[in-house]
């Protein structure tokens, strides 16, 4: 999920909470509603465009993790004066590439990871939209406790899915685009002397080698827990709201 989408969602939630506890804030609530609708429309359009590019065209752009390579010069006989700062770890660890001819399996995996992100974004936006409309109607707790808990579950499971599926898809696509299956060099050339006879691992010389790298983000767990707590609080609010309506 992009930083822009996350920022929009955070602003929407903050705006909804302010509208919940601020009297006479219908204008702000309407702004939140519009922001939710824009987010849903933008996410849907982004998903459609991304899916079309991945599945309907022969060109795919993706980010692939690489085996970390520290830049170095490995040509025998070449002497250079290195910088004063010495690199002890790290280096190039990922690349964004555009390729053609990617297999259907890799394209489907990459598209699936992106679609899960979009689906989670839309679910959160819909829940915030319902909250804003409830606030404008004067019934902020009406029927939202279960939706908040479900939204937390969707966020947590969705984050796991897009991390695993997206990571596997990037690795598979990276292997298709970057993996070396063989090499050849004229006898007696410098390339033949450097590579020897039995290796196809060129990462030592700077050729990017894909690696399987799956990160399980922790922020969805925190936000999902917060949504679950909000759901429990809203459940209490629903009961109080029903009791208040019964007294009137």
The model's pLDDT over 119-138, given as tens digits with 9 standing for 90+, comes to 888 888 888 888 778 777 77
Is the entire prediction scored with pTM above 0.85? no
Position 3 pLDDT exceeds 50: no
- At residue 65 the predicted structure's pLDDT band, cuts being 50, 70 and 90, is confident
Sign of CA dihedral 168, 172, 174, 179: positive
- Identify the pLDDT of residue 243: 61
| 68, 37 Cβ separation under 8 angstroms | no
Q: What is the mean pLDDT of residues 216-245?
A: 74
Q: Examine the pLDDT at 11 and tell me if it is beyond 80.
A: no
User: Mean pLDDT score of the chain, rounded to an integer?
Assistant: 75
Average pLDDT over residues 192-213: 67
Using CA atoms, how far apart are residues 41 and 57, in angstroms rounded to an integer?
Answer: 23
| 98 phi/psi in degrees, rounded to 5 | -115, 125
State the pLDDT at residue 1: 47
Share of the chain above pLDDT 90, in %: 0
Residue-wise DSSP of 94-129: EEEEEEES--HHHHHHHHHHHHHHHHHHHHHHHHHH
Domain ranges of the chain: 3-69+96-181+200-247
Greater confidence (82 vs 151) lies with: 151
């Amino acid at each position: 999920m992009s930083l822009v989408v996350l920022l929009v969602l955070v602003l929407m939630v903050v705006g909804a909470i302010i509208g919940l506890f601020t009297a006479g804030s219908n204008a702000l609530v309407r702004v939140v509603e519009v922001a939710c609708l824009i987010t849903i429309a933008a996410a849907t359009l982004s998903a459609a465009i991304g899916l079309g590019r991945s599945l309907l065209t022969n060109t795919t752009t993706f980010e692939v993790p690489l085996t970390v390579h520290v830049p170095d010069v490995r040509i025998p006989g070449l002497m250079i004066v290195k910088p004063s700062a010495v690199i002890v770890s790290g280096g190039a660890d990922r690349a964004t590439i555009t390729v053609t001819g990617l297999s259907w399996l890799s394209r489907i995996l990459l598209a699936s990871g992106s679609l899960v992100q979009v689906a989670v974004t839309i679910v959160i936006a819909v829940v915030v939209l319902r909250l804003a409309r409830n606030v404008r109607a004067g019934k902020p707790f009406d029927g939202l406790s279960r939706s908040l808990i479900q939204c937390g579950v969707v966020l947590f499971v969705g984050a796991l899915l897009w991390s695993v599926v997206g990571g596997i898809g990037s690795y598979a696509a990276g292997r298709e685009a970057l993996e070396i299956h063989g090499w050849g060099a004229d006898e007696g050339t410098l390339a033949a002397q450097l590579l020897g006879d039995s290796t196809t691992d060129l990462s030592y010389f700077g050729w990017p080698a894909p690696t399987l790298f799956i990160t399980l983000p922790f922020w969805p767990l925190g936000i999902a827990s917060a949504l679950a707590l909000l759901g429990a609080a809203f459940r209490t609010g629903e009961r109080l709201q029903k009791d208040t309506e019964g007294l009137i």
